[in-house]
Amino acid sequence: MNYTQFSRYFENEESLKQLLLDCQDTFTALEDLTQQLQQNIISSGQEWKDTLAVATGHYAFLTPIYTVAVAIKENEEIRRYIEEKNELEAKGEKAVATHLDKSASLKVAEYRRVRNVLEGYVNVAEKIIATAQSQLKRIETEIKTNQ
């Protein structure tokens, strides 16, 4: 998926929901790996290599989408803040920054939720990658020690 394809997910709140649906296979795969780690199922070097490859692939898939989600959420929040400020000033009302911050934040709640979901899965992938790398290094050290 390239930038043009996944940037369409951030056009509105409905397309954000579609993004999460379209990422469900990736989320499920990372959840499965997490469960395997929790149950201590992965043990051989090949299993750790496979885990590393799968987690890295999902990390590579999610990271660009996540970084766009961060930027768009921030931009959308600023846009809505300015929009509301201009509306209040056009009516001759006083624009209170604290109120505007809260209001803009509330208006981008779905963007924030999606960003947080993506961030969570990116973090899971990072932890799985780090764990797999550590375990492969441990196995390699054990093999060298036993030779």
Q: Which residues contact 79 (CB under 8 A, 6 or more apart)?
A: none
96 backbone dihedrals φ, ψ, rounded to 5°: -95, 120
**Which pLDDT does position 144 carry in this prediction?**
85
Q: How many CB atoms lie within 10 A of CB 90?
A: 8
pLDDT along the chain (147 residues), means of 10: 81 91 97 97 95 98 95 93 91 87 91 96 98 96 85
**Which pLDDT does position 128 carry in this prediction?**
98
Q: Which residues contact 102 (CB under 8 A, 6 or more apart)?
A: none
Q: How many CB atoms lie within 10 A of CB 115?
A: 23
d(CA 124, CA 118): 10
**Which pLDDT does position 134 carry in this prediction?**
97
